[in-house]
Structures are given as structure tokens and as C-alpha cells.
């Protein structure tokens, strides 16, 4: 198995630092320059880029090279400093997924859960046979940005989705999609790690072994990840990342750090998206999810 570092966090959330703060985002991120031109249509969904950028990394590499350092040493220095670009997607939406339902339910709303990212993915992925079709006890909750995202890819993704629904001049949809995706695939980027954060609990009771209460044993409420490539799921990419506490009484934060040798990440390519699935199995089991985040770290050079 690949590297997976799970870091359970305290059940009690810290005092919010701002009105918009949440359990996984205690301090609201400042708006990016793009938000003034392309405002986020759903306040429950955020898209942030943390420093350094790919441009920053390439600039530092040039500076160090001019000092006479070989490229291998330059890359090692940046790796030791964990100097990698990153893109973070965060969603704050209370969703309840039960083992017998094909959709998630939103607290205090009559309508079933509709992921706010449907405009960012290919329309074919949402249709029968697509990678993002829900099933009983299996609902997709969040997608990362494409591996190698530089900040404008989400805007491009929305435009591509609209074109897929209304192709101009009868242009072939598949051909159009490949043209849009090519820009990302041509980028020389390598995936370095992925951080999966969740804030969730199960139904709070169980008819199972009482010795498992308060542990992760015998829990049938969990999260999975998979790779989305185009409109299809990459074969062999689906893996469990985190279970809820068995009969947990409180929402709990978990932070899982996936290294490049993780079986899902080992299959990833530039342009792929990581999908987070909310899961529940067997009658009575539920997964109550308040929020989640996916942060993708990448570099303009391969791992040493």
C-alpha cells in the first residue's frame, strides 16, 4: 500500500476567527484577483491557491542555478523546504448520505444535494455510465481542481461544460473537450502530495459490538477517493481514505496526507481531478458530512 498519514483532530471546533470561518477554514481566505471578474456563484465552495506559485518555484530554481548549483541539488533543496505549488478546494455544505439512498440530503432543505461543481466537470461524467453517477450509499461530494491548476482552469472548465451542452457549429464534443484539456496535459507538473480534510460523523448509534464504540473498528460510514479523467473514472483509482468514528456523538475533523506512492496518486496525470465520495453501507448507517477540502501539491520537476 502507498503512504497515507491520517491525523485525527480534536472533536471540538476552535472559536471562529470570522463570521465566515468554518471547522476546516478557521480563517476566511482573502479573495483572489480573479474573484472580481469571475465571482464564485456558490459561497459554500471555495478555490484558493497558496504560495508559492509555479512561477515562484521556477524563479527560485533559476536563482539557485545561477549560483552554480546543479539541478539535482536545486530540486533537493526545494523538496526539503517543501516548496511546492498548491491548489485547495473547500466545500461547506451539510449533507446526509444513508446506505439505502442514491442521493444526499441537505439539512433544512427539501431538495436533494446537488454538488455545486456540476458546472466544472464534463457533462458526460454526470450521465448514465459516467464517472460521477451516484448509487445507494455512494454520493460524490467534492472534486479537486485539475492537477496542475494555475487559477484560471476552473473558469475554463465552466466554459467547456457550457460548450459541451451547446457545441458551436456542431463541433464534436469529444474533440472540443480534448482541445480544452490539452493545455493542462502539456504542463510539466508532477504531483507531490494530496491532503484530504473531512468534518463528519456517523448516525451516532449502532447495533454492532459495543466494544467498537468510539473507535474506527466496524464502522460502515466512510470516505473514498477516485480519479476523474475526462468523463471516466481511472480504473483502479478508487480507495478508502477515512472512516468515521463508530457511533460517534460529535462531528470530528480528520486530515489525511497522501504521498506520491499512494495507489490513487500513482495513477494520476496532469489534468486529472480527485473526487471525494461520501459512503455508507448496511441498513441504519449514515454519513453526516459538514464540510471537506482537497489540497493538491505539485511541482515543475519530478520527485527526486
What DSSP element (H or E) covers 62?
A: helix 54-66
Instruction: Answer whether 242's CB lies under 8 Å from 256's CB.
Output: yes
Phi, psi of 292 (to 5 degrees): -160, 160
52 prior amide bond cis, ω within 30: yes
Instruction: State yes or no: pLDDT of 266 exceeds 90.
Output: yes
pLDDT tens readout for residues 44-101: 999 999 899 999 999 999 999 999 999 999 999 999 999 999 999 999 999 999 999 9
Share of the chain above pLDDT 70, in %: 75
The rounded mean pLDDT for the chain is 83
CA nearest to 91, candidates 109, 124, 112, 114: 114
pLDDT tens readout for residues 288-298: 999 999 999 99
Q: Determine the straight-line distance between the first and last CA of the chain, rounded to whole angstroms.
A: 20
Residues, the chain, total? 304
Amino acid at each position: 500500500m502507498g503512504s497515507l498519514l491520517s491525523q485525527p483532530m480534536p472533536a471540538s471546533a476552535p472559536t471562529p476567527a470570522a463570521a465566515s470561518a468554518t471547522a476546516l477554514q478557521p480563517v476566511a481566505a482573502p479573495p483572489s484577483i480573479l474573484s472580481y471578474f469571475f465571482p464564485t456563484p456558490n459561497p459554500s465552495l471555495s478555490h484558493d491557491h497558496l504560495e508559492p506559485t509555479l512561477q515562484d518555484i521556477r524563479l527560485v530554481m533559476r536563482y539557485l542555478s545561477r549560483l552554480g548549483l546543479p539541478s539535482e541539488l536545486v530540486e533537493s533543496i526545494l523538496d526539503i523546504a517543501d516548496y511546492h505549488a498548491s491548489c485547495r478546494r473547500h466545500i461547506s455544505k451539510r449533507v446526509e448520505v444513508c446506505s439505502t439512498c442514491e442521493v444526499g440530503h441537505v439539512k433544512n432543505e427539501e431538495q436533494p444535494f446537488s454538488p455545486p461543481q456540476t458546472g466544472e466537470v464534463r457533462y458526460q461524467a454526470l450521465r448514465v455510465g459516467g464517472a460521477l453517477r451516484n448509487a445507494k450509499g455512494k454520493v460524490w461530494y467534492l472534486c479537486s481542481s485539475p492537477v496542475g491548476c494555475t487559477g484560471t482552469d476552473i473558469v475554463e472548465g465552466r466554459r467547456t461544460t457550457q460548450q459541451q451542452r451547446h457545441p458551436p457549429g456542431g463541433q464534436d464534443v469529444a474533440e472540443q473537450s480534448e482541445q480544452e484539456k490539452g493545455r493542462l496535459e502539456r504542463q510539466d507538473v508532477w504531483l507531490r502530495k494530496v491532503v484530504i480534510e473531512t468534518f463528519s460523523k456517523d448516525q451516532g448509534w449502532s447495533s454492532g459490538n459495543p466494544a467498537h464504540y468510539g473507535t474506527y473498528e466496524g464502522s460502515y460510514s466512510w470516505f473514498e477517493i477516485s480519479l476523474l479523467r475526462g468523463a471516466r473514472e481511472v480504473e483502479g483509482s478508487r480507495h478508502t481514505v477515512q472512516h468515521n468514528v463508530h457511533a460517534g456523538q460529535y462531528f470530528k475533523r480528520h486530515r489525511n496526507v497522501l504521498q506520491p506512492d499512494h495507489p490513487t496518486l500513482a495513477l494520476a496525470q496532469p489534468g486529472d481531478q480527485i473526487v471525494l465520495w461520501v459512503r455508507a453501507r448496511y441498513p441504519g448507517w449514515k454519513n453526516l458530512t459538514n464540510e471537506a477540502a482537497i489540497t493538491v501539491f505539485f511541482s515543475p520537476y519530478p520527485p527526486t
